[in-house]
Amino acid sequence: MTNSHQQSRNLSAYRGHIVSPIDGSRLNDIRDGLLVVDENGQIVFVGAESEFDKDAANLQDKIIRRLDFGKRLIMPGMVDTHLHLPQVTATGKSGEHLMNWLQRFIFPSEIRCRDAVYARKIAKWFFDEMACNGTTTGVVMTTVHKEATDIAFQIASERGLRVIMGKMMMNANAPPELTEELSASLSASHELCQKWHGADGGRLMYAFTPRFAPTSTSELLKECGKLWQESKGSYLHTHLAESQDEIDFVKGQYPSARSYVDVYHSFGLLGKNSVMAHSIHLDEQDIKLLRETDSSLAHCPSSNFFLKSGVFQYNRILKSGIRFGLGSDVAAGPQMSLFCVMKDANYMQPHDWLGPEELLYRATLGGARALALEARIGSLDAGKEADFIVVDPRRRTGIISDILDRSIDEILSALVFLGDDRIIDATFVRGRQLFSRENQESELVTA
């Protein structure tokens, strides 16, 4: 049992089978569990319902709302460490490796976001997709358009999701419609950071977002590094060493640099709160430097699989101590569900088996630690913010009907290797319900 804030009022209580990671091999498994949340969206009790009845009687008369999920699972919300808002319309566009795929499918979809009406429509769609997939926190890249990014923050604020997001920065080797003037890119990013970073008590945070080295001049990377360092608590989000073509391009740009990692390091882009997406093709010196600078990685197995970019060095990175989480990388990742991404993370490793406990950890608490947010989210513990999902694996075809009566090992295996968006019954951020499968199905029937 965990318990805090004994003086809280107006509590909500959620009964169900609580499953929450402790680390990559251990988790809390509480059947007939109770999660109690205060009016500010903070967890005040997690434990067996019987313990609450016995030890927290002083809180009983403060509960104004009770929801009983029966045998269904109550789990931490998913933490997606890398995805692209404007690319949600390009999911499943196949037939190319990274650099050609960007030119053929992605840049055109991003250009469309210069239209504010379109940008608003896509942002609504994107954040609704996050909620129905059980993703409560996302590290999101937008486009180069300041207005579209501002709109995206507005919609995220309204929808209630937790996001770390930023305007894309590109001033080289991109279509003319997406190529910015340096000073305009920097000023727009700075202004958006000033407006949105830390909004709603830190639910919305800003990430300076140079797309990657190939679409950035050295001046942009240098000045972006300065902006990031000067903006306390903000994030730096970019791509690193995803494909061999990309790496070869960077070698031509920076012939004196030892590696791609060194390019970013030379411009002050590594450190705590930097999130390097993909990071597949790394050598020992690269890994050492990323660990020494306390940089984080976003492992995107579904995307790497889809674009045939290469295989992330999972156990090598794990042993190095580098913090990392999982990313769907929509739209190169063909689905937003992190349950599908967990499965692909195991399938992508040719020799190593990744267990369900480790994969669930990476999609929740491991992702939160990669973002330095583990004190607030990622697991269900008293004192943390109530970002959680209700999961019913029986909604997925191919999963046995009595799965919720089975051992936790069988349940986790079914979730990780068969789960997808269909198993999400409800999504909550700070105790506010953002998605209900029951309501969605009622709307579909009515329509």
| In the predicted structure, residue 245 carries a pLDDT above the cut 70 | yes
Residue 358, token pair as written in the block: 């480790």
Average pLDDT over all residues of the chain: 94
Please report, rounded to a whole number, the percentage of residues in the chain having pLDDT higher than 70: 96
Q: State the pLDDT confidence band at 4, using cuts at 50, 70 and 90.
A: low
Q: Which residue has the higher pLDDT, 106 or 15?
A: 15
CA angle 67–73–79, rounded 5-degree value? 105
Instruction: Name which residue leads in pLDDT, 55 or 341.
Output: 341
Enclosing H/E stretch for 433: strand 432-436
pLDDT for the residue numbered 5 = 46
Query: Is 140 or 57 the better-scoring residue by pLDDT?
Result: 140
The CATH code of domain 78-370 reads: 3.20.20.140
Q: Domain boundaries in the chain?
A: 2-76+378-446, 78-370
| Residue among 134, 29, 79 at smallest CA distance from 359 | 79
Evaluate if pTM is beyond 0.75. yes
CATH number of 2-76+378-446: 2.30.40.10
Given this model, what pLDDT does residue 7 score?
55
Q: How far lies 279's CA from each of 37, 38, 299, 355, in Å? A: 38, 40, 7, 22
* DSSP-derived 3-state class of residue 200: helix
> CA 119, CA 151: separation in Å to the nearest integer?
7
Average pLDDT over residues 2-14: 73
Per DSSP bridges, beta strands 78-84 and 388-391 are unpaired
Question: Each residue of 79-105: pLDDT tens digit?
Answer: 999 999 998 887 776 667 777 888 888
The pLDDT, as a whole number, for residue 441 is 65
**H-assigned helices in 18-172:** 49-55, 57-60, 98-101, 107-111, 116-132, 146-159
Say which amino acid occupies 26. R
Q: Is the pLDDT of residue 109 over 70?
A: yes
List pLDDT tens digits, range 279-305: 999 999 999 999 999 999 999 999 999
Tens digits of residue pLDDT in 419-446 = 999 999 999 999 999 999 987 765 544 4
Query: Does residue 120 carry a pLDDT above 70?
Result: yes
